[in-house]
Amino acid sequence: MDIKAYLKEKRELIDSYLRTYFENSSLPSVLRDAMKYSLFAGGKRIRPVLALASYEACGGEPKDILPQAAAIELIHTYSLIHDDLPAMDNDELRRGKPTNHKVFGEALAILAGDALLTEAFFMMTNTNPPLPPLSKGGQGGLFSPDKPVVSPVLQSAVLRVIREIALSAGASGMVGGQAIDILSENKQPDREIVFFIHLHKTAAMIKASVRIGAILSDSTEDKIEALTTYGENVGLAFQIIDDILDIEGTTEELGKSSGSDNNKKKMTYPSVVGLKEARREAFDLVSSAIDALRVFSYRANPLREIAVYLMERRT
Amino acid sequence: MDIKAYLKEKRELIDSYLRTYFENSSLPSVLRDAMKYSLFAGGKRIRPVLALASYEACGGEPKDILPQAAAIELIHTYSLIHDDLPAMDNDELRRGKPTNHKVFGEALAILAGDALLTEAFFMMTNTNPPLPPLSKGGQGGLFSPDKPVVSPVLQSAVLRVIREIALSAGASGMVGGQAIDILSENKQPDREIVFFIHLHKTAAMIKASVRIGAILSDSTEDKIEALTTYGENVGLAFQIIDDILDIEGTTEELGKSSGSDNNKKKMTYPSVVGLKEARREAFDLVSSAIDALRVFSYRANPLREIAVYLMERRT
C-alpha cells in the first residue's frame, strides 16, 4: 500500500472536518483567530489519523468517528501552545512559524489553549446520530443536533472515549508528564525519569488515540489489548525519534529550533543511553507494536505501515 | 429556612467528595499539590451548590450528582488560577492567600489549571452506577468503575451535561468572556461590552450549573426553561455585586485586593452606569430570577433563598 497517500487522504478528512467546524462558529473573533492560527499551522494530524486507522482495523468506516478523532488534535494543539509559553519551554518557532504567544501575546495564547482543550470535549459529544436537542439557553453550540435518536451503545462508547481522553490528557497523563519534564530540566539525566516523561507526555495520548478507535467500534477485549500495546509502543518510539531528530535535524527541516532540547538541558533518551542505543530501542518498540497486531487481518495494514513510517520520518 | 445552614451542609458534601477524590489519586505529587492548593483554598462552592439545589428542586437527591456538580468547581478553580497569572490579571492574592503562581511558579500554575480543567471532564463521567470497566491500559483512573449496568437515560443525561459545561466554559462562554475582558482593559467603558463580559465570563457557568440539575433529573421543558432564566439572572446579578464589592469592600473582607478592577482599568457595571443604578439592576435581576421559579413547589426554596443571599453578601 501507498502509506503516504493513505496519510494524506486521512489528514484531509480531519482538516476538512475541522475547517467546517470553525467556519460555523460564532466565537469572539480574536480568540477564534488565535485558536485557528495554531490548529491550522500544518500539523500532520498523526493522532487523529491513528484513531481512524484503528477504527478501520476494527471494521469501522473512518468518517463515522471524525468528531472524536479530530477532538484529539484540538488537545494536541492546546498542549503545544501552552508548552511553548515563556514560563514553560519559551519557544519562538513551531512548524516553521512564530509560536502562538509571539503573534497574539501571552494572555490570548493561554486562553486559546484553554478554549481548544474545552472545545475538544464539546466536539467529542457530537455523536452520530446526534443527541436530541435541549431547550433554549445553552445548547446549540457549534454543531446543532437535529435528529432525535441515539443508540445507547454509541452513547456508552462516547462516554468511555471522553473518560479515556481526559485521563490520558490530564494530570495522570500528558499534563503530568509535562510537569515532570519542566521540573527535570538541568537535572542529572535518569533513565527512569525519561521513561516516565515519554510515557506520560507523549505515549499516553497516542495510546488513547489508538484505543478510541477500538472503543468506538465496540471491539473485543483481545483487539483492545493488542491496540493498547501497539499504541504505547508506537508512542514511546515516536518520542525517542523526536529526541533523535532534535539532535540530527536542522531547524529548517524541523520547523522548530534544532538542538533546543540540549540548549534547555532537557532530559532525553539519547542523553541517557546515547544515540545508537536510542535508535535501537525505537526499532524494538516499533517491532513489538507491529507484532501486537497479529490478531488483525489486512485491515490493520495502515497501522503497521504508519509505525514504520513514523520511525523513518525525517521531520 | 436557614439558608446559611443549607449552604454549609451542601458545601461540606462537595468538599468531602473532592477530598476523597484527591486522596485516592496517584498523580505526580508537585502537580497534585498545586491543584489542591487552589481547590481547597476556601471557596464557597456556589456553583456546585446551585447544581445540587436545582437537582433538588426537580425532585432529585443531591448526593446522586456529586461528580457532575463537583466537576464544576474544578473548572471554576482552573479559571481563577489562569486569570491570576502575570500575563492575565497579575493578581498576588486570592481568598486571602498568595495566588497559585506565587507559590508554585508560573509553569506549574498553568499546568495545574490545565489539569483541573481536564480532570473535570473525567470526573463528570463518574456515573452512578458506573460505566463497565474497559480492559487494562488506560482506564481505572481515580475512581475505578466496578458495577456493570448503566441506565441509557443516565448516560444520555451525562453526555448532555458534558456538552452543556464544555459550551459554557469554552470559547462561546467563560473563556470567550475572559478574552474580551482582557482586551477591553483601558478602553472607554461601554454598557454592551460589559454585558457581554458578564454574560460570558460569569453568568454562563452559573446558568450551566443550575441547568445541569434539571438535565440530570430528566426534567420537563418548562422547568428547564425556568431554571435557565433563574441561572442567567442570578449569574449576572452575582457579577454586578462582585463589581460593587470590589469598590466598597476592604482587601481583608474580600481576600483579594479591593479596588483592583479600577486599578487595572477593568470595565465594570458600576463604571458604566454608576453604583446606585448597578445596585438597582442587581435587585431587578434577582427579582426576575425568583419570579421564574413560580412553576416550582417549596422544593425550590433553597434556590429562592440563595438568590437573595448572593445579593446581600459582603464577600
C-alpha cell at A257: 529550533
Contacts of B166 in chain A (CB under 8 A): 118-119, 121-122, 125
In which band, very low, low, confident or very high, does the pLDDT at B133 lie, cut at 50, 70 and 90? low
Whether A226 is covered by a domain: the verdict is yes
For chain B, the helix, strand and coil percentages under 3-state DSSP, each to the nearest 5: 70, 0, 30
B217: chain A residues, CB-CB within 8 Å: none
Q: Is residue B20 part of a domain?
A: yes
Q: What is the pLDDT of residue A209?
A: 98
Q: Contacts by A58-65 with C-beta closer than 8 Å and gap 24+? A: A58/A213, A58/A214, A58/A217, A58/A219, A58/A223, A58/A299, A59/A217, A59/A299, A60/A213, A60/A216, A60/A217, A62/A10, A62/A13, A63/A13, A64/A128, A64/A216, A65/A212, A65/A213, A65/A216
Which pLDDT value is given to residue B56?
Answer: 95
A133 falls within a domain: no
Contact A228, B138 (CB under 8 A): yes
pLDDT of residue A282: 96
Residue B7 lies in a domain: yes
Residue of B118, B127, B183, B221 best to disrupt the A interface, most CBs of A under 10 A: B118
Is A227 part of any domain? yes
pLDDT at residue B140 in the model = 35
Residues from chain B that touch A159, judged by Cβ atoms under 8 A, are 125, 127, 131, 155, 158-159
pLDDT at A147: 41
Question: Quick one: average pLDDT of A26-32?
Answer: 88
Q: Please list every residue in chain A whose beta carbon sits closer than 8 Å to the beta carbon of residue B150.
A: 156
Q: Is residue A138 part of a domain?
A: no
Residues 247-276 of A with CB under 8 A from B: none
- Dump pLDDT digits (tens) for B238-251: 999 999 998 887 76
Average pLDDT of span B144-153: 48
* B107 lies within 8 A of chain A by CB: yes
Report if residue B251 sits inside a domain: yes
Asked if residue B120 lies in contact with residue B212, where contact means CB atoms within 8 angstroms, the answer is no
B246 touches chain A (CB under 8 A): no
Domain tally for chain A? Answer: 1
Between chain A and chain B, the number of residue pairs with CB atoms below 8 A apart is 227
* Residue A149 predicted with pLDDT over 80: no
Q: Does B232 touch chain A (CB under 8 A)?
A: yes
Q: Reply yes or no on whether the pLDDT at A86 is more than 50.
A: yes
Cβ distance A254 to A44 under 8 Å?
A: no
DSSP B214-235: HHHTT--HHHHHHHHHHHHHHH
pLDDT in tens, A233-284: 999 999 999 999 988 877 666 677 777 777 777 888 898 999 999 999 999 9
Which residues make Cβ contacts (< 8 Å) with residue B143, sequence separation at least 6?
B21, B24, B67, B126, B130
Average pLDDT, integer, range B72-88:
98
Chain B residues inside the 8 Å CB shell of A235: none
Q: Does the CB of B289 have a partner CB in chain A at under 8 Å?
A: no
Query: Tens of pLDDT along B188-203?
Result: 889 999 999 999 999 9
Mean pLDDT of B139-147: 37
Contacts with A, B 195-224, CB within 8 Å: 207-208, 211, 215, 221, 224
CA distance A231 to A292: 10
Interface test with A, best of B149, B163, B165 (most A CBs within 10 A): B163
CATH number at residue A15: 1.10.600.10
pLDDT of B262: 76
| ipTM of the prediction greater than 0.90, yes or no | yes
Beta-carbon separation of B182 and A107 below 8 A = yes
Position of cell 435587585? B283
Q: Which one is predicted more confidently, A179 or B156? A: A179
pLDDT at A28: 85
Whether residue A219 has pLDDT greater than 80: yes
Average per-residue pLDDT for chain A: 90
- Examine residue A112 and state whether it is found in any structural domain, yes or no: yes
List the domain range (segments joined by +) for residue A280.
3-128+149-312
